[in-house]
């Protein structure tokens, strides 16, 4: 009986070392968020999660859906990477380019209508939700003239994500 108790004590001691560490807490006492790491295999899922989310919101407002456009996506990808290089979220490129010029450079023949950007550690769903909270960025998502959309991101090694959505029609 003593051996069994000793064995169970040692087993419990070993297993207690395997328990997950408690979550790290921020200054407000709440758990810190976990980094949203994007892998190469996640690209299609994330892209279509955003486009499907946008189209669900547009449908709820009676607005026609947008279609993912490769040229607008190229403009969005260029800008996401460039914002990371500049280390600031803004609508102008390090070469002074505007969103309109970046879209023109891709050969898109439609009219560029809007651009939403974000610097965050959040998911694409949380980012879309944040865009819907502000009138200016919500207007880009729900613009009835938009027929095409480009969506891309760049994630830094530390986990920070630079999101860009471009719409056109």
Residue 35, C-beta contacts closer than 8 angstroms, at least 6 positions apart: 121, 159
Strands ordered across the beta sheet of 161-168: 67-68, 148-155, 161-168, 112-120
114: β partners: 167
Specify the pTM.
Answer: 0.81
What is d(CA 168, CA 38) in angstroms, rounded to the nearest whole number?
26
Average pLDDT of the chain is 88
Residue pair 165/76 in contact by the 8 Å Cβ criterion: yes
**Per-residue pLDDT reduced to its tens digit, 19-31:** 556 666 767 777 7
What number is the average pLDDT over the span 105-111?
A: 97
**Per-residue pLDDT reduced to its tens digit, 31-40:** 766 778 888 8
Place of tokens 């108790």: 5
**Per-residue pLDDT reduced to its tens digit, 111-121:** 999 999 999 98
Residue 155, pLDDT above cutoff 70: yes
Residue pair 89/117 in contact by the 8 Å Cβ criterion: yes
What is d(CA 60, CA 38) in angstroms, rounded to the nearest whole number?
29
Residue pair 155/38 in contact by the 8 Å Cβ criterion: yes
Q: Helix, strand, or coil here: 168?
A: strand
């Amino acid at each position: 009986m003593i051996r069994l108790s000793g064995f169970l004590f040692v087993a419990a001691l070993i297993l207690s070392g395997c328990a997950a560490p408690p979550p790290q807490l921020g200054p407000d006492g709440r758990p810190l968020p976990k980094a949203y790491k994007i892998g190469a295999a996640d690209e299609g899922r994330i892209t279509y999660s955003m486009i499907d989310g946008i189209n669900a919101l547009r449908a709820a407002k009676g607005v026609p859906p947008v279609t993912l456009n490769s040229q607008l996506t190229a403009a969005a990808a260029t800008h996401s990477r460039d914002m990371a290089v500049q280390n600031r979220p803004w609508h102008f490129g390090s070469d002074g380019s505007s969103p309109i010029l970046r879209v023109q450079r891709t050969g898109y023949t439609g009219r560029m209508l809007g651009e939403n950007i974000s610097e965050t550690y959040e998911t694409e769903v949380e980012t879309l939700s944040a865009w819907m909270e502000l009138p200016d960025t919500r207007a880009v998502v729900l613009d009835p003239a938009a027929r095409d959309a480009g969506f891309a991101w760049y994630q830094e090694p530390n986990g920070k994500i630079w999101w860009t959505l471009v719409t056109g029609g």
